[in-house]
Amino acid sequence: KLITRWAPDATAKDDVVRWRIDRLGALKARARHAEVIRDYQTLTSEGVQLPTYALRWVAGSYLEQRQPEKTEPLYRQVLTAPDTDASYRVDDSTALFYALLESDKVEEARQVANNLAKE
């Protein structure tokens, strides 16, 4: 693996981190959600701040793994991030809605749905 070969090289650190983040997207696209979550946890334990687009992949993986309590704060972060892609707003809000429902937060889910309907 390229990542494994380059990881020990301190001069390639930033590139390796970017590759590891991009790998999250590849894993998500292949529905390998447990691996997305594992790699996300490893990255965050190393102090890596993920870009908003990558947080969306992680949030989706947590939702697929039926972990709405971890999904909710990530989608809230994605939705309020200054660099969020507005074209995903409906999808992100819908996913947040489902995470709230699965967490038995019906009133909060209703509010998300109402806000979405107003847009």
- Domains of the chain with bracketed CATH: 2-118 (1.25.40.10)
Mean pLDDT of 7-29: 83
Q: Which residue has the tokens 């200054």?
A: 82
State the chain's mean pLDDT as an integer: 92
Q: Tell me how far apart the alpha carbons of residues 44 and 5 are, in angstroms, rounded to a whole number.
A: 21
Cα separations in angstroms, 117 against 65, 85, 87, 112, 114 = 27, 19, 16, 9, 5
Percent of the chain with pLDDT over 90: 82
Q: Say which amino acid occupies 22.
A: D
Residue 5 has pLDDT above 70, yes or no: no
Per-residue pLDDT, 15: 77
pTM for the whole structure:
0.87
pLDDT tops 60 at residue 8:
no
Q: Mean of the pLDDT values across residues 60-71?
A: 98
Taking the CB of residue 2, how many other CB atoms lie within 10 A of it?
Answer: 10
Predicted local confidence at residue 49, as pLDDT: 95
